[in-house]
Amino acid sequence: MGVKQLHLGLFLMGSGHHIASWRHPDVDSNQVTTFNYFAEIAKKAEAGKLDMLFLSDGLSFHELSHPAELSRFEPISLLSALAVVTKRIGLASTVTTTYNEPFHVARKFLSLDHLSGGRAGWNVVTSYYESEAKNFSKSEHLAHHDRYIRAKEFLDIVNGLWDSWEPDALVRNKEEGVYFEKEKLHRIHHTGTYFSVEGPLNIARSPQGKPVIIQAGSSDAGVDLAAKSADIIFTAQDNLADAKAFYQRVKDKVQAYGRNPEHVKIMPGVSVYVGSTREEAVEKYEQLQQLITPEVGQNLLSEYLGGYDISPYDVDGPLPEIPETNGNKSRRALLIKLAEEKQLTIRELYQYVAGSRGHRLIFGTAEEIADDLENWLQEDGADGFNLMLPSFPNSLDDFVDQVIPVLQERGIYRKDYTGSTLRAHLGLPEPVYKSPILNNQ
């Protein structure tokens, strides 16, 4: 068995993941809605041989949302454009199962997959902002449990539609006038709790078998869905002990479903500050922290606590008891635990969230950053990381120019791409074709 290899994704987010990144003097926030801005970031990430670019998405916002959410491109549109200016790097995005239809989603991602030569990935989410419901003619959000029931059915349908065509169905025989073999085109004939879909999908099978499936929930329902269906799991883990426990929990669950645990990659989010010394790296962080206004910090924390409004409470006091909500449960639990263990005030907690959006922070030299990432890899705390860099393009330049060469020298990261698809980058086999006829529910 060879040396375990690290996988890295770049999470694109406006001017950066730090909520005050747009205020940094080195950031030109006027460029974040131009294609050239994202094209240059994509090309730099590809130069660093990263596995993929990743775009999150949301279907609502309010006046105090993260600045990157106030003006964001529809992700499939942007990724399709980025496919033209890149050659190898994967292209993945979030699309919710709660406010979409399976046929549309199956078609969009398979189109992106063909346009990019097999580089597409879909992050399956169920949405957790109540405000999204009001943009889709609904008065309230589906309950958490019901969202995951819908998501499972949705994902089953999409996978079935992606198997509409057998791998060798399109023969395009000019002499005999046969474009495809009819017996190798299949309908799913699905009737279920939420959907009725006949099929087939009107686009050929994926160049990589199927687009890569990503799942980002760490709740019991989220882990169960991921263990059954996902190729990558995004998660927020603040320390190695908890990360190892989550890693083992997921891998055991994957194996229990009869899947190979090595074919599911766990990639926690991480925010990285690189400096010539650790002190310089911390100084970069503190410079951004000083740009956070209390109003914005409180509001951001409220969002990550499931929508519970903490503005009436003293920012220099402890976090109050946070009731259960219908929002994001895993992130809420992580932040409550963090506040309790470290005795953080509301101000300290929102400063933490503002700097990393609830994910882990790393400060140090390129060698120290590489040490940290390698340790998590070798200790089975992660198979890779989703890089949530504080500001663009500076933080990306620091990581690609300084950290990537160290990882390459240690033999745990590629010096060049060896394949052309996202599955190849991740070391995942092409899915075996299955008959797409689903069991009616």
Tell me what the pLDDT averaged over the chain comes to. Answer: 91
What span, in angstroms and rounded, lies between the C-alpha atoms of 18 and 271? 9
Q: Is 436 a domain residue?
A: no
pLDDT-derived band at 63 (thresholds 50, 70, 90) equals low
| φ, ψ dihedrals at 223, nearest 5° | -65, -40
71 is annotated as contributing to ligand binding: no
Q: Is 249 a domain residue?
A: yes
User: Per-residue DSSP letters for 173-213?
Assistant: ETTTTEEE-GGGB----EE-SS-EE----SSPPBTTBSPEE
Q: Is 335 a domain residue?
A: no
pLDDT value for 64: 62
What span, in angstroms and rounded, lies between the C-alpha atoms of 10 and 269? 10
pLDDT-derived band at 92 (thresholds 50, 70, 90) equals very high
Give exposure, 318-342, as e/b (b: 16+ Cβ within 10 Å).
Answer: ebeebeebbbbbbbbbbbbebbeee
Give the pLDDT confidence of 34-53 residue by residue, as tens digits. 999 999 999 999 999 999 99
* Average pLDDT of span 120-149: 85
Q: Is 33 a domain residue?
A: yes
Q: Is 297 a domain residue?
A: no
Q: Say if strands 7-12 and 384-387 run parallel, antiparallel, or are unpaired.
A: parallel
pLDDT-derived band at 441 (thresholds 50, 70, 90) equals very low
The residues facing 232 across adjacent strands are: 214, 265
Q: What angle do CA 108, 389, 98 make, to 5 degrees?
A: 35
* Average pLDDT of span 359-369: 96
Nearest to 310 by CA among 441, 88, 40, 318: 318
Block residue for tokens 């949705």:
154
Q: Could you tell me the two tokens for 65? A: 């949302």
Domain that holds residue 60: 7-274+360-426
Give the pLDDT confidence of 71-87 residue by residue, as tens digits. 789 999 999 999 999 99
438 has pLDDT over 80: no
Nearest to 150 by CA among 107, 193, 108: 193
Amino acid at 429: P
130 has pLDDT over 70: yes
Q: Is 437 a domain residue?
A: no
What span, in angstroms and rounded, lies between the C-alpha atoms of 109 and 105? 6
**CB neighbours of residue 63 within 10 Å:** 7
Q: Is 421 a domain residue?
A: yes
pLDDT-derived band at 127 (thresholds 50, 70, 90) equals confident
What CATH number is associated with residue 385? Answer: 3.20.20.30
Give the pLDDT confidence of 182-192 residue by residue, as tens digits. 999 999 999 99
**Distant-in-sequence, close-in-space partners of 428: CB < 8 Å, separation ≥ 6:** 212, 231, 263, 265
- Among 4-18, 186-200, 352-366, 403-417, the least confident range: 352-366
pLDDT value for 327: 61
Nearest to 374 by CA among 3, 44, 47, 49: 3
Q: Could you tell me the two tokens for 201? A: 């999908």
96 is annotated as contributing to ligand binding: no
What span, in angstroms and rounded, lies between the C-alpha atoms of 12 and 348? 25
Max mean pLDDT range (63-67, 129-133, 437-441): 129-133
418 is annotated as contributing to ligand binding: no
What span, in angstroms and rounded, lies between the C-alpha atoms of 37 and 50? 18
Q: Is 316 in a helix, a strand, or coil?
A: coil
**CB neighbours of residue 183 within 10 Å:** 8
Q: Is 302 a domain residue?
A: no
Q: Do 52 and 64 form a contact (C-beta atoms < 8 A)?
A: no
Give the pLDDT confidence of 413-434 residue by residue, as tens digits. 999 999 999 999 999 999 988 8
Give the pLDDT confidence of 294-306 residue by residue, as tens digits. 888 788 788 778 7
Count of domains observed in the chain = 1
186 is annotated as contributing to ligand binding: no
94 is annotated as contributing to ligand binding: yes
Q: What is the pTM of this model?
A: 0.90
**Distant-in-sequence, close-in-space partners of 93: CB < 8 Å, separation ≥ 6:** 54, 55, 56, 57, 75, 76, 79, 121, 122, 123
> What is the 3-state composition of the chain as percent helix, strand, coil, each rounded to the nearest 5?
45, 15, 40
Considering only residues 223 and 137, tell me which one the structure prediction assigns the higher pLDDT.
223
pLDDT value for 142: 84
Q: Do 386 and 267 form a contact (C-beta atoms < 8 A)?
A: yes
Q: Do 72 and 14 form a contact (C-beta atoms < 8 A)?
A: yes
15 is annotated as contributing to ligand binding: no
pLDDT-derived band at 141 (thresholds 50, 70, 90) equals confident
